[in-house]
Amino acid sequence: MAGSMSRAAKRAVNRPAGTATRAVRVAALAACAALALSACGSTKDAGKAGAAGGEGKVGVILPLLTSPFWQSYNDYVPKMAKEEKVDALKTVNSNSDPAQQITDINNQLNQGVKGLVVAPLDSAAIAAGLDQAERKGVPVVAVDVAPEKGKVAMIVRANNVAYGQKACEFLGSKVKTGKVVQIMGDLASVNGRERSEAFRTCAKDKFPGLKVLEIPAKWESDAAASKLDTLLNQNPDIKGIYMQAGGVYLAPTLQTLKSKNLLKPVGDAGHIAIVSNDGIPQEFDAIRKGEIDATVSQPADTYAKYGMYYIKKAMAGETFKEGPTDHNSTIVKHPSGLLEDQLPAPLVTKENVDDKALWGNNVK
């Protein structure tokens, strides 16, 4: 091996720089440039496939499948599609990668879908995909995340700012003064940022007695566990916790508290008030056991249901207006002109944890 390499090396050294090759390269570049001038175009040139006539296949794109919330959404999609009489293709998972999500949208469009229900990973990094759909005349319903740019027929979403506020107001009603900690999501994600910001602002404005400590945990359970551990060592007097995603933070939080002997049931003197976010069955169990106080239920079932509901109407050419809806929610208009149906996200406490209407109680 070494022998042959050194031979190559010698050849390399002995070889003079090729002026001829350089000339060829320059000529090739020039030719390209000349051609480019005559044949330039844009992806925007792609012709419209004509407006959809109300029927046809619908592509459903998921952001990730590694959280219980999106898993149940994924389960609800085929059921709700059937209920709403929508011909939905099998769901596609973008696996937490915004670029993959654009590719997924393109792939679905190439397959000739007439409508798309997309849960964007990122409010801005979905723009290119929405543009492609618009060019092909395919309506899109956005679920969970409101796009900042691009056209969608409707945004189906529970307000993430409201999550943070609800959690803060609940925690504020339980803890008057002292330290509370929020275990935050990925600050590179809109949902993580909005929940964090809302909780922080609300605590500052409405509950000046609270001192908010923060754990950036990037939706990662091990990060949550180790950072909470450190923080509890430093501040043994923490009185409340807000977990921004029960799906990933519930187990590590309870585990850490248990190992420090700080997990006392609701009502005990040393109980740390805990509010979670998601509404998965495991959180409901923890509420029943008195380990945590409450959770904000992010409605996986209505996400799927109204995603299908709106895409069907949009494909039939219907448009929507601001104002209250027939299903206990309100359609609001964003500054960008996009409409958002703000589905209710109930706060679940010991009082209503057994409510059959909560999706967390209906998971198989």
Partner 1 sequence: MADTTASKVAAPARDASGSAADRKKTLLLSRARELALLPALLVLVLVGALTNESFFTSGNIISILGASAALAMVVLAESLVLITGKFDLSLESIVGIAPAMGALLVLPALSSGFGTEMPAFVGILVILVVGALVGAFNGALVVKLKLNAFIVTLAMLIVLRGLLVGATEGKTLFGMPDAFFALATSTFIGIPLSVWIAALCFGIAGFVLKYHRVGRALYAIGGNPAAAKAAGIRVDRVMLGVFVTAGVLASLGGLIQTGYVGAINANQGQNMIFTVMAAAVIGGISLDGGKGTMFGALTGVLLLGVVQNLLTLAQVPSFWIQAIYGGIILIALMIARVTTGRAQD
At closest approach, how far in Å is the CB of 13 from partner 1?
5
- Residues 43-72, mask of contacts with partner 1 (x by CB under 8 A): xxxx---------------x--x-------
CB of 26 to partner 1, least distance (A): 12
CB of 31 to partner 1, least distance (A): 12
Report the distance separating Cα 251 and Cα 258, nearest Å. 10
Nearest to 69 by CA among 281, 347, 292, 255: 281
Among 190, 257, 311, 338, binds partner 1 (CB under 8 A): 190
Told to check if 128 binds partner 1 by CB under 8 A, we report yes
234 scored as a contact of partner 1 (CB under 8 A)? no
137 binds partner 1 (CB under 8 A): no
Instruction: Write down the H helix ranges in 207-356.
Output: 221-234, 246-259, 281-289, 300-315
| Look-up of token digits 């925690």 | 171
For partner 1, give the closer residue by CB, 110 or 173. 110
Task: For residue 76, give both structure tokens.
Answer: 């609800």
Residue 75 contacts partner 1 per CB under 8 A: no
Is 33 near partner 1 (CB under 8 A)? no
The structure tokens listed for 132 are 């492609």
Pair 17, 102: CB distance under 8 Å = no
Instruction: Enumerate residues 6+ apart whose C-beta is below 8 A from 257.
Output: 232, 263, 272
Of 15-23, 159-167, 223-231, 340-348, the window that binds partner 1 (rule: CB under 8 A) is 15-23
* Number of residues written out for the chain: 364
- Tell me the closest approach of the beta carbon of residue 34 to partner 1, in angstroms: 12
Is 13 an interacting residue with respect to partner 1 (CB under 8 A)? Answer: yes
Among 165, 182, 189, 298, binds partner 1 (CB under 8 A): 189
Q: Does 214 bind partner 1 (CB under 8 A)?
A: no
- Work out the burial of residue 28: count CB atoms within 10 Å of its CB; fewer than 13 is exposed, 13-18 middle, 19 or more buried: exposed
Cα gap 135→140, rounded to integer Å: 12
What are the structure tokens assigned to 339, written together? 């409409």
Binding-site residue total for partner 1 (CB under 8 A)?
71
- The 293-322 site mask, x for binding partner 1 (CB under 8 A), equals ------------------------------
Distance in Å, CB of 45 to partner 1, minimum: 7
As to burial, measured by CB atoms within 10 angstroms (0-12 exposed, 13-18 middle, 19+ buried), residue 236 is exposed
Q: Shortest Cβ distance from residue 355 to partner 1 (Å)? A: 29
Virtual torsion, Cα 213, 219, 221, 227, nearest 10 deg: -30
Taking alpha carbons only, the member of 278, 300, 279, 329 closest to residue 154 is 329
CA distance between the termini of the chain:
61
Residue 82, phi then psi, degrees to nearest 5: -65, -45
- Site for partner 1, residues 83 to 122, rule: CB under 8 A: 89-93, 95-100, 102-104, 106-108, 110-112, 121-122
Quote the least distance from Cβ 160 to partner 1, whole Å. Answer: 14
> Least distance to partner 1 from the beta carbon of 238, Å?
25
Q: Exactly one of 39, 237, 267, 335 binds partner 1 (CB under 8 A); which one?
A: 39
Find the binder of partner 1 among 32, 34, 51, 357 (CB under 8 A).
Answer: 32
Say whether residue 201 binds partner 1 (CB under 8 A). no
